[in-house]
Structure 1
Amino acid sequence: MPDTLMPRSSEDAARRPSAPRRWRWVVVGLLAVALAGGIAAWRMRSPAAVAPPPSTPTVLTVTTVVATPRSVPHRIPADGPIVAWQEMRLGMELGGLRVTDVTVEEGDTVAAGQLLARLDDSVIAAQLDRADASITEAEASLALSRAELRRVQSLIASQNAARQTLEQREAEVLRNDARLASLRASRAEVAAMLAQTRITAPDAGVILARDILPGSVSVAGQVAFRLLRQGRVELEARVQEMDLAAIRPGQDVLVRHGARSVAGQVRAVAPSLPGNTRLGVVHVALPTDPGLLPGMFALAVIDAGAIETIAVPAEAVVFRDGAPAVFVLESDRARLRRVTIDATLKDGALAIAGGLTAGDRVIAMGAGFLADGDRVQVGDAR
């Protein structure tokens, strides 16, 4: 039986889109394709985009100065304690004697020969009196023996005395003469001991210390007084070993202690370095009564003449890694060079002890903004 076309249900008819609606979607798709193609064609027809030019490094404009040699004062710093120019230790030469009197105190100014202390001299004075009596007796015996010798000599001349008698009288004179000389030497010894019971100042000065009291018993060799000879003090300046070669006796020295300034002179340079300090000792003589006392600590500047150095403006010196340096112009590049600063000059320039040679072109203005190897442009050379 032939197939017959059966009409669809009303539900199927509702699900199937209508013809006008399908054509609408087809047109929208064609328009989208055309738009995409047009954009692609426009891009192909437009000129290619130009890539941005590569960036060029910034060139800093700087000024330069020529490193020039200059003769500058050589000032050597030093420091150290104030010490006695010469400290005299006055001791007691006799032991076992009582100290009867002490006439000075610490800080007193004394004159040469002034009595400082006295020991009990009663026993020694009695010994001296006995020595004097013995000498008087010996002198009388010598005089008598000489008179006897003269009488024997006259008798020998008249042949009334034996030769043996003459020899005996001559021997007696020699014996008495020797005894007198011995007694005189003994008296001198006692007199010296008597003088040692009096302690006197061997020179003018200031008493730094007194170590005995009245009533104490003397001990041979004991230090009784410490005397600052002539009241003079000096600075025992300590100097770096590399600076010692430039220091000579007679050079001027400015010594500072707080607000006080004292002018001195180099007296002597110690011939060796004490210990392992690597510091030399320079003895600086100070004027009388400088207002400085032994034990104080002072600073000093030694005028060691003049030296030749290289000077650059202060603005040319920069610090890299905590060390001073300058930039030297090499062609159109700034090259970092380490330097050693010696001193600041009166016009504000810096004296360079090492790292530069005369004629180097040093960058002044703009040095603080540079790094090693930077390209620079010189704006104004000085």
Structure 2
Amino acid sequence: MNLETKVSTTDLESENPEGLGAALDADATDEQALEGQGRRKRRLWIALAVILVGAIIGGLMLTGGEEEVPFVNVGNDGSAPAVTVAIPGAGTLEGTINATGTLAARREMPVGVVGEGGRVVSVPVEAGEWVRAGQVLAVIDRSVQNQQASAQAAQIQVAQADADLAQANLDRALQLVERGFISQADIDRLTATRDAAFARVDVARAQFAERRARNAQLNVVAPSAGLLLTRNVEPGQVVSPGSGTLFAIARGGEMEMLAQVGENELATIPVGASVTVTPAGSERSFTGQVWQISPVIDRTNRQGTARVALSYDPALRPGGFATARITSGTVVAPRLPESAILSDETSSYVYIVDDENKAVRRNVELGMIREDGIAIASGLDGSEKVVLQAGGFLTEGQTVRPMMQD
């Protein structure tokens, strides 16, 4: 007898509903955990790939896609290291010194009251105008002085009349002395009177000339032709010899720059050196020459003055700030980049490559330092093969493989 027992899910659920539900929930949780682990692995691989690509791109950007190897040591196969060399030759180099300073009149002439002074009647000039020698700059009232001059002229006439009378008296006495009516003593007295009268005429004339000279000095005049820089007087003002400077004139309109230069650089600047001057706030430059080197060094800043002569130009205003580029001389010497020059406790030096391709140390003395290189004052004649880079990795007598710079 076969017995078949059919158990349905409904029956199981009815018999044990809680146990069956728990089993189904556990299966679902396992599936979700497996899916989460897969997603985390994929994100990790993607992140690693992004980091690797970024590192490669960053490396290419830093190197510019190329790698400059100034000094390549082959090493393993026994070959000599390669170094970049150049034959510098010798060229003419112009030394330049940059300086700052102020603009000024080369020969500034202060003008004041020469005579006795007085009230200013008029000032017919303005600052910035050109004046000629002897031109009246300020007119001083001379009404009182003119009356004094008239009185002095009248005194000449009075003295001349007295002299004429004394001469006439002497002439008559000389006619009477021959007849014995007048003694010789009277003749001597009349002669002395006549001489004194003529002397008083000379005194009156000298006093009149003095008065006229004083009156001529009342007006303030230009002592020389030039550019009027300042005017410090107005009509109605009372001036005297103690009034100070009323006008300032740049003789001939000549200007200069007072360039402040360090004492070491000042010693290298020759008189007559060419200078390019650029005033502050201007794009124009002016060419001048050093006409005087200061014989004194300032103790506080250790600087001296190089005076640069400049021709007149409206853009050159005395008192303004300017920069200067001074040519300190020319030399014929090799020029090397800064990377080729080494130094130690004893001296500066470079490495050159001899005919046997061996590195040889050569002590050098440095000259002018310019933007395009450093001049070698002594130690090289320009025909040597000089190591341009990585000389610090070489040793004396080391065999190298020179590569000429393009």
The equivalent of 2:185 in structure 1 is: 164
The equivalent of 2:253 in structure 1 is: 231
Offset, 1:201: 1.6
Contact preservation (8 Å) 2:341, 2:349? yes
The equivalent of 1:296 in structure 2 is: 320
Query: Match for 1:119: what amino acid?
Result: I
Offset, 1:131: 0.8
Are residues 1:185 and 2:206 paired? yes
Query: Structure 1 315/134 Cα, relative in aligned 2: closer, same or farther at 3 Å?
Result: closer
- Comparing 170-179 with 275-284, greater Cα deviation is found at 275-284
Query: Structure 1 105/369 Cα, relative in aligned 2: closer, same or farther at 3 Å?
Result: same
2:130 to 95, 99, 109: 109
Query: Match for 1:165: what amino acid?
Result: D
1:91 to 73, 88, 112: 112
Contact preservation (8 Å) 1:334, 1:376? no
C-alpha separation in 2, matches of 1:285 and 1:154: 78
Offset, 1:122: 1.2
Query: Match for 2:251: what amino acid?
Result: R
Contact preservation (8 Å) 1:117, 1:198? yes
Contact preservation (8 Å) 2:80, 2:401? no
C-alpha separation in 2, matches of 1:181 and 1:220: 30
2:306 to 270, 278, 282: 282
Structure 2 unmatched runs, 5+: 1-74
Query: Structure 1 149/71 Cα, relative in aligned 2: closer, same or farther at 3 Å?
Result: farther
The equivalent of 1:377 in structure 2 is: 400
C-alpha separation in 2, matches of 1:156 and 1:60: 133
1:216 to 237, 244, 258: 237
- Comparing 263-272 with 220-229, greater Cα deviation is found at 263-272
C-alpha separation in 1, matches of 2:385 and 2:266: 32
Offset, 1:370: 3.6
Contact preservation (8 Å) 2:83, 2:390? no
The equivalent of 2:6 in structure 1 is: none
Identity of aligned residues (%): 30
- Comparing 151-160 with 189-198, greater Cα deviation is found at 151-160
Are residues 1:267 and 2:310 paired? no
Query: Structure 1 158/325 Cα, relative in aligned 2: closer, same or farther at 3 Å?
Result: same
Contact preservation (8 Å) 1:262, 1:290? no
The equivalent of 1:19 in structure 2 is: none
Contact preservation (8 Å) 2:257, 2:310? yes
The equivalent of 2:153 in structure 1 is: 132
C-alpha separation in 2, matches of 1:73 and 1:91: 47
Query: Match for 1:327: what amino acid?
Result: V
Offset, 1:260: 1.3
1:311 to 334, 337, 340: 334
- Comparing 149-158 with 208-217, greater Cα deviation is found at 149-158
Contact preservation (8 Å) 1:250, 1:265? yes
The equivalent of 1:141 in structure 2 is: 162
Offset, 1:100: 2.0
- Comparing 81-90 with 154-163, greater Cα deviation is found at 154-163
C-alpha separation in 2, matches of 1:56 and 1:272: 66
Specify the structure having the higher radius of gyration (Cα).
Answer: 1
Query: Match for 2:201: what amino acid?
Result: L
Q: What secondary structure, in the 3-state scheme, does the structure 2 residue paired with 1:98 have?
A: strand
Query: Structure 1 142/333 Cα, relative in aligned 2: closer, same or farther at 3 Å?
Result: same
C-alpha separation in 1, matches of 2:77 and 2:367: 37
Contact preservation (8 Å) 1:64, 1:378? no
TM-score by length of 1: 0.70
Contact preservation (8 Å) 2:226, 2:252? yes
Contact preservation (8 Å) 1:109, 1:204? yes
Offset, 1:118: 1.7
Normalized per residue, the structure richer in strand is 1
Structure 1 unmatched runs, 5+: 1-53
Contact preservation (8 Å) 1:149, 1:169? yes
Q: What secondary structure, in the 3-state scheme, does the structure 1 residue paired with 2:246 have?
A: strand
C-alpha separation in 1, matches of 2:171 and 2:78: 128
Offset, 1:209: 1.9
2:171 to 114, 126, 150: 150
Offset, 1:191: 1.9
1:286-318, CA deviations, whole angstroms, 9 ceiling, x for partnerless residues? Answer: 12326311112223334454334x313337546
